[in-house]
């Protein structure tokens, strides 16, 4: 039997979270592996984060294994050449004449880096095309009047499109998440952004009585790697969903939650904790993970009328793949 290729698509381009800002102090060096590539992340003494190809362009040492920050650069452990976050070589301590090419152009691949919402985002494009859109900043994640973010993360065999598609797969909510009715929402597609807002009522116990509470769920998908969800109801909760490909079929998923600061031990604090557990646990993403890990992506699924706008979503998502033969297969299936 031929092996089934699980995913016909390549790694989409976009902004991807590779670390939280607070997890990279000045002088820190990390070896990372994302997008099928070995990388080195560091924060120089000027506070700037840099993400470079891991392998030194001189003789190939891994900068993330023993490299040290020096001034604005990272110093290679092998012959001490230094590289700035922009990929330029800043110093060769023993060269009598600095190579002219090293003055003119970066010697190594540097990835664009932006820090916002407390996350270090990097731009990935398989052909190294410069950023085609921007990360969205959500200031509540770094606002001292909001709670210190609660973070969760998972790693499993899937990809960003499969994860993102889950939100429009309305039929699965009843069967995977045991949720009754998914409220009708309004959706808009605007270039790389997809927005949705859904409003409904939930019956919740308030002071010993069951009450109907209005709630809303707002989402913004901004490319393949950044999604934002704002829940309003008994509690207000903001969630950043950060999906970052490690390989084409291996993904890291981070959830970062925050909410307006609440008193410790209060009802609101309990409600917030429950909402977070609900979003992460079996009724949330941990219900989906076993399915994501073993499913395949069908470019031509067999759908019925209750399935939700899956093909419209795929058409939107298709724009994040660099031109390949697979692209036309995905587009055709969605049309």
CB of 62 to Fe ion, least distance (A): 38
- Helical H segments across the chain, by residue range: 100-104, 160-165, 172-177, 267-280, 285-294, 310-317, 325-334
Closest CA to 121 of 276, 292, 256: 256
Pick from Fe ion, ligand FES, none: which does 288 bind, CB < 5 to 8 A by kind?
A: Fe ion
DSSP 256-288: EEE-B---TTSHHHHHHHHHHHHHHSTTTHHHH
CB of 98 to ligand FES, least distance (A): 14
Q: How far is CA 180 from the centre of its chain?
A: 29
Q: Is 229 in the site for Fe ion (CB under 5 A)?
A: no
CB 30 within 8 A of CB 90: no
By C-beta, is 60 or 139 nearer to ligand FES? 60
Q: Are strands 68-70 and 209-222 parallel, antiparallel or unpaired?
A: unpaired
By C-beta, is 19 or 82 nearer to ligand FES? 82
Q: Whole-angstrom Cα distance, residue 184 to residue 171?
A: 13
Closest chain position to Fe ion (CB): 288
Q: Is 318 helix (H, G, I), strand (E, B) or coil?
A: helix
Name the one range near Fe ion by CB under 5 A: 118-126, 166-174, 194-202, 272-280.
166-174
By C-beta, is 76 or 217 nearer to ligand FES? 76
Q: How many C-beta neighbours within 10 Å does residue 251 have?
A: 24
CB of 30 to ligand FES, least distance (A): 18
**Please, which of residues 53-72 interact with ligand FES by CB under 6 A?**
56, 58-61
Name the one range near Fe ion by CB under 5 A: 141-149, 191-199, 281-289, 322-330.
281-289
Residue from 78, 146, 154, 215 touching ligand FES (CB under 6 A): that is: 78
Q: Whole-angstrom Cα distance, residue 204 to residue 67?
A: 54
Q: Is 252 in the site for Fe ion (CB under 5 A)?
A: no
Pick from Fe ion, ligand FES, none: which does 81 bind, CB < 5 to 8 A by kind?
A: ligand FES
Name the one range near Fe ion by CB under 5 A: 160-168, 205-213, 239-247, 262-270.
160-168
The binding site for ligand FES (CB under 6 A) comprises 56, 58-61, 76, 78-79, 81
């Amino acid at each position: 039997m031929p092996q089934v290729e699980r995913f016909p698509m390549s790694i989409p381009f976009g902004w991807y979270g590779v670390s939280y800002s607070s997890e990279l102090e000045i002088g820190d060096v990390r070896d990372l592996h994302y997008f099928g590539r070995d990388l080195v992340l560091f924060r120089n003494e000027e506070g700037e984060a840099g993400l470079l190809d891991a392998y030194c362009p001189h003789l190939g040492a891994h900068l993330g294994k023993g490299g040290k920050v020096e001034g604005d650069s990272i110093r290679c452990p092998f012959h001490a050449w230094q590289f700035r976050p922009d990929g330029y070589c800043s110093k060769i301590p023993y060269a009598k004449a600095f190579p002219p090419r090293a003055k003119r152009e970066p010697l190594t691949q540097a990835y664009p880096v932006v820090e916002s919402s407390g996350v270090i985002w990097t731009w990935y494009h398989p052909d190294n095309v410069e950023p085609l859109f921007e990360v969205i900043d959500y200031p509540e994640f770094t606002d001292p009047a909001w709670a210190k973010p609660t973070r969760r993360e998972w790693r499993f065999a899937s990809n960003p499109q499969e994860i993102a598609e889950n939100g429009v797969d309305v039929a699965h909510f009843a069967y995977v998440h045991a949720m009754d009715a998914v409220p009708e929402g309004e959706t808009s597609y605007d270039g790389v952004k997809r927005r949705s807002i859904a409003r409904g009522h939930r019956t919740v116990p308030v002071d010993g009585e069951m009450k109907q509470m209005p709630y809303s769920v707002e989402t913004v998908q901004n490319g393949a790697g950044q999604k934002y969800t704002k829940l309003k109801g008994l509690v207000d909760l903001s969630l950043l969903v950060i999906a970052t490909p490690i390989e084409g079929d291996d993904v890291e998923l981070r959830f970062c939650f925050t909410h307006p600061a609440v008193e410790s031990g209060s009802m609101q604090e309990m409600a917030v904790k429950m909402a977070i557990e609900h979003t992460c646990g079996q009724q949330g993403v941990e219900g989906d993970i076993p399915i994501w890990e073993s499913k395949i992506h069908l470019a031509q699924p067999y759908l019925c009328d209750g399935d939700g706008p899956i093909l419209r979503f795929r058409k939107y998502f298709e724009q994040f793949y660099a031109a390949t033969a697979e692209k036309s297969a995905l587009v055709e299936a969605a049309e």
